Amino acid sequence: MRLVIIGAVAAGTSAAAKARRNNEEAEIVIYEKDNFISYSGCGMPYAIGGEVDSDDLTPRDSEFFKRKYNIHILTLHEVTSLNSKNKTLEIKNLSTGELFTDTYDKLIIATGASAIIPPIKGADGKHVFSLRNINDMNKIKEHIQVHQPKTAAIAGTGFIGLEVCENLKKLGIRVTLIEKLPQVTPGLDSDMAVYVKDYLIKNDIVVITDASVKEITQNSVILSDEREVQADMILLSTGVRPNTELAKMAGIELGIADAIKVDETMRTNIEDIYACGDCIEHYHVVTGKRVYRPLGSTANKTGRIAGDCITGGNLKFRGILGTGIFKIFDMVVAQTGLSEKEAKESGYDVAVCHNIKPNKAMYMGGKEMVIKGIADKKSGRLLGAQIIGYEGVDKRIDVFVTAITFKGKADDLFHLDLAYAPPFSTAKDPVMYTGMILD
Ligand code: FAD
């Protein structure tokens, strides 16, 4: 069996490694148009800030995959077309310009996503960046080193924009955040997002909401309301779109946000073609509806499932909750499941509670966290949670993830036998209070 995979970051390499574990005989080839593979994109903001070494994000190369898994990865090779009837691919070697054809028995599309660059005048400037891959990161690092910018503007206040904001600030750069919505962190409900905005302002970040970038000049950005913001460098962090042109060309069905439709085994509508990672749509555990939430955690998982199923395994995808977590300076922000807004849009009669409790005994240095719990009034079923705090947020959000995944009700939270000793928690954990209030 000749298995060809397109894309060699999280999903593609995960698929290849699992396929190899299941099938020692298969020929496995991956085409990757970039020069970096299997890297930790999630660490890039911290490499920009100098907190981690860039080289630590790219620990594996083609040689590693050849040696460890007998997987052949060709970098700087772009797949330019796909014919699903003949089972052929056209490939361009980007180093030499050579064009050639390859064939497959089974194909996995793991082409990921690209940063959306809004059509803004001046967005092609050399001081304007997006951050999606290692080359983008290197360009940002080099610009900072060579030009030593004093000011930066970041358009978009999702987790990537905020993580980069923290790291630029740590380098001594004055940052202005620009968000076209009335609130920061669009994934949160507005009553939780205010905590993030206040904290950003306290940390000397200029936050502008309800405005978008209209034009970029050499040292400023002009906003939709005509205000001008000083900026020696600009990051456009306004979301991503799935790379699905090849799939579309081959007649593969696309779904929400033009991401590839797959079943629970990652199979597309075309025989012997599977897809995984940021180029596919997912379904939501709570609503069952199709959603597009590209994340590394899911890319690794769907890659493994694709690699398993294509080699005869029986792993099945069980959906997502859209769980996310990030930090900004010392503040940790996490959310899972439906927000209050999403729950209402999905037709639920929603019960909501907020509780503010320390993560551990105050005499052990406990720090308060705000938990917003969202449940269905009628059935009591938990629908979502959002947490903002400083310590222990990761542990609590994962308790909610588990409870929601297994269809827990709000009152179940009180009955969980959670671990307690003063250095770790309080006798009644903050999660249990959510159960008591929402009950
Ligand atoms: P990609 O990483 O997009 O890789 C796809 C690859 O396919 C690319 O290298 C591309 O060059 C290649 N390709 C595309 N088309 C072709 C073609 N025609 N021929 C050959 N090759 C092709 N996720 C989290 O869960 N937690 C985090 O904390 C987190 N932090 C992040 C921070 C940053 C700054 C960024 C940018 C992302 C972060 N993510 C995080 C998201 C995570 O990195 C992605 O979800 C993950 O990289 C997706 O992996 P993928 O393999 O599906 O796609």
Tens digit of each residue's pLDDT (9 = 90 or more) over 288-338: 999 999 999 999 999 999 999 999 999 999 999 999 999 999 999 999 999
Cβ neighbours of residue 408 under 8 Å, at least 6 residues apart?
381, 382, 402
Query: Ligand 1 centroid to 57 CA: how many Å?
Result: 13
The strands making up 151-155's β-sheet, listed across from edge to edge, are: 128-129, 233-236, 151-155, 174-178, 206-208
DSSP symbol at 27: E
- Indicate the Cα dihedral angle 211, 296, 123, 170, nearest 10°: 70
DSSP symbol at 156: -
Q: Three-state secondary structure along 3-21?
A: EEEECCCHHHHHHHHHHHH
**Euclidean distance between the first and final Cα of the chain, in Å?**
55
Query: Ligand 1 centroid to 278 CA: how many Å?
Result: 7
- Residue having the nearest C-alpha atom to atom 33 of ligand 1: 42
Cβ of 306 closer than 6 Å to ligand 1, yes or no, is no
DSSP symbol at 256: G
Percentage of the residues of the chain whose pLDDT score is greater than 70: 100
Query: Ligand 1 centroid to 416 CA: how many Å?
Result: 36
413 phi and psi angles, rounded to 5 deg: -60, -40
Cβ of 42 closer than 6 Å to ligand 1, yes or no, is yes
Distance CA 237, CA 164 (A): 9
Distance CA 392, CA 369 (A): 9
pTM of the model: 0.97
Cβ neighbours of residue 12 under 8 Å, at least 6 residues apart?
5, 6, 30, 32, 108, 110, 276, 277, 303
Cβ of 37 closer than 6 Å to ligand 1, yes or no, is no
pLDDT score for 390: 98
Cβ of 324 closer than 6 Å to ligand 1, yes or no, is no
Contact 196, 226 (CB under 8 A): no
Question: Three-class SS of residue 360?
Answer: coil
**Nearest in space to 183 (alpha carbons), one of 162, 152, 167, 153:** 162
Query: Ligand 1 centroid to 211 CA: how many Å?
Result: 28
Chain-centre distance of CA 97, in angstroms?
Answer: 33
Q: Is residue 279 annotated as a catalytic residue, yes or no?
A: no
Task: Give the nearest ligand 1 atom to 31 CA.
Answer: 20
Average confidence (pLDDT) over 44-62: 97
Query: Ligand 1 centroid to 7 CA: how many Å?
Result: 9
Q: Which two tokens stand for residue 96?
A: 């030499």
Measuring CA to CA, how many Å separate 53 from each of 8, 47, 48, 110, 141? 21, 6, 9, 27, 12
Task: Give the nearest ligand 1 atom to 36 CA.
Answer: 9
Of the CA atoms within 13 Å of residue 200, those in its CB half-sphere come to: 29
Strands 113-115 and 240-242: what pairing? Answer: antiparallel
Cβ of 334 closer than 6 Å to ligand 1, yes or no, is no
Cβ neighbours of residue 265 under 8 Å, at least 6 residues apart?
274, 305, 306, 309, 315, 316, 317
Cβ of 79 closer than 6 Å to ligand 1, yes or no, is yes
Task: Give the nearest ligand 1 atom to 164 CA.
Answer: 34
Write down the mean pLDDT value for the chain.
Answer: 97
- Residue having the nearest C-alpha atom to atom 31 of ligand 1: 42
Distance CA 8, CA 420 (A): 43
Sign of torsion over alpha carbons 137, 167, 299, 282: negative
pLDDT score for 437: 85
Residues 145-201 pLDDT 10s: 999 999 999 999 999 999 999 999 999 999 999 999 999 999 999 999 999 999 999
Residue from 111, 185, 282 whose mutation best tests the ligand 1 pocket (most atoms within 8 A of CB): 111
Residues 90-132 pLDDT 10s: 999 999 999 999 999 999 999 999 999 999 999 999 999 999 9
